[in-house]
Amino acid sequence: MASSPKRSPTAGLFLGLLVTIAAIVTYSWYINRQISTLRELQNNLIEHNRRDSLQLLRAQNDLNSLGLAMRDMLDNAGPYPLQAWDAQFQRIRTDLSSALQTEDRLSMAKRSPEQAQYLQQSLVEFWDAADHVFALARDGKEPEARAQIRQSLQTRQAALSTTVSRLLVQNNESEQQAALQVGRIYDGVQRQLYLFLTATLLAILLTGLYVILWNRRLFAQLAEISQQRSDLAQKLISSQESMLRSISRELHDEFGQVLTAIGSMLTRSGNHLAEGSALRNELSEVRDIAQTTLSNIRSLSQALHPVMLDETGLESTMDWYIPTVEKQTGIDIEYVKSGTRFGVDANASIHIYRVLQEALNNVARHSGARDAQVRLIFLPEALELEIEDHGKGSEGFAEGGGIGLVGMRERAELLRGTIEFTRPPQGGTLVRLRVPRQENEANAE
């Protein structure tokens, strides 16, 4: 029963391809945007943290310079009066203020208003104390000024240094938090990538399974059609052989016997007539025509289906047929047999004979060769038949042998064998039929 037509998978596969491409393009754009954002974030963090840290280090260096200057100011053996340090303090004050203002602008760390107010207040108090020290020094009260340095100025400088150090620590913590944020983004991108790859692989797997199922169904249908074709070819060939055998027997038995009887009757009738009479001569001519017709009918009968193929087997039939082809075509055929002989099934014999017949017909009609070789090789596991010529080659062989080649292949398939059409090194065509012995010897007895 014919299978119902199935919807072609082309539309579904094309839609799946479009969806997959759209998903890949969309996800590629999304990943590219994520990576660009991540790269921008990293660049900003690195640059801001670097510049911020430099300003904090600059401020800390200024505070350290103040600390060293105050230590020298407290050294009574110093060659300079306290008022001489005023210019250095003002220079450091300007640089420190610039560093802290720049750092406040660059800072990415989250600071409370109290922290910013405390730092600003500490700076104001420190410089107020410094101004008071230098005012005492200008009034000639250096001992009181040194006392203020010890009691107030150094303490305030240490507090400022501690505050700046905390800012450095806070800046490092902020950098670590940013690194964690970058890591989370990386993890999110990685998870999304894994999800996308999983979905893509799943889609490819489903599409592959879909294609495999369709291919299996298609190949099953092709196998069914091939089997039906093979069965039909076998029935056609069997029907053809049966018809040819029937026609051959009818020609040989019916028409042959009739023509033989006519010839005998003409001979007897002629014997009753006088020698040299015109009627006897005419009867003799008619008898010759009947004999020629009988010979032609027997030749045609043998060509349609050799009786000796059923009676004496394949090998004897080939021994008779090849010299007959030589006489009919004028082609010199070298016939060689080799190997240990074994019987061939009658059904297999007719197919092998038809392959030989078709191959030699193509040599005679299409190759243009004046010689050919036929080799019958008995192997332990198979029987091989080779027909070789050195004419036009396979192209000329196939020009008029399309149906014949199909028939040869079908017969080889019916014999569970193989047939090859190749070009030998000298040019031309080599037909090699290989028939398994086990398949075709079982009923040879």
Distances from the Cα of 88 to the Cα of 13, 126, 265, 377, angstroms: 81, 15, 159, 118
pLDDT digits (tens, 9 = 90+) for 383-400: 999 999 988 765 544 444
Both tokens of 415, joined, read 């014999």
Domain boundaries, the chain: 10-211, 308-440
Say if residue 336's pLDDT is above 90.
yes
Say if residue 94's pLDDT is above 70.
yes
Both tokens of 357, joined, read 């017949």
Q: Which residue has the higher pLDDT, 179 or 91?
A: 91
Nearest 10 degrees: Cα torsion 89, 157, 103, 173: 160
- Rounded to 5 degrees, what are φ and ψ at 417? -115, -165
Q: Model confidence at 4, in pLDDT bands (50, 70, 90)?
A: very low
Both tokens of 340, joined, read 């240990």
Say if residue 299's pLDDT is above 80.
no
Q: Model confidence at 436, in pLDDT bands (50, 70, 90)?
A: very high
pLDDT digits (tens, 9 = 90+) for 139-198: 888 888 888 888 888 888 888 888 888 888 877 777 777 777 777 877 777 787 788 778
Most confident of 7-11, 213-217, 293-297: 213-217
Residue 241: exposure state from Cβ atoms within 10 A (0-12, 13-18, ≥19)? middle
Integer Cα distance of 22 and 25 in angstroms: 5
Say if residue 307's pLDDT is above 70.
yes
Both tokens of 254, joined, read 């019916």
User: What is the architecture, at CATH level 2, of domain 308-440?
Assistant: 2-Layer Sandwich (3.30)
* Least-confidence region, from 78-82, 150-154, 316-320, 347-351: 78-82
Say if residue 445's pLDDT is above 60.
no
pLDDT digits (tens, 9 = 90+) for 241-282: 777 777 766 766 666 677 777 878 877 777 777 777 777 778
Q: What does the pLDDT read at residue 164?
A: 84
Residue in this structure with the two tokens 């407290």, named with its chain if needed: 74
Integer Cα distance of 278 and 290 in angstroms: 19
Q: What does the pLDDT read at residue 400?
A: 42
pLDDT digits (tens, 9 = 90+) for 63-72: 899 888 888 8
Q: What does the pLDDT read at residue 252?
A: 65
Q: How remote is the C-alpha of 132 from its chain's centroid?
A: 87
Residues 6+ apart with CB under 8 A from 170: 109, 111
- Rounded to 5 degrees, what are φ and ψ at 429? -140, 140
Distances from the Cα of 357 to the Cα of 310, 345, 404, angstroms: 16, 18, 10
Most confident of 213-227, 229-243, 278-292, 314-328: 314-328
Q: What does the pLDDT read at residue 253?
A: 65
pLDDT digits (tens, 9 = 90+) for 397-411: 444 446 778 888 888
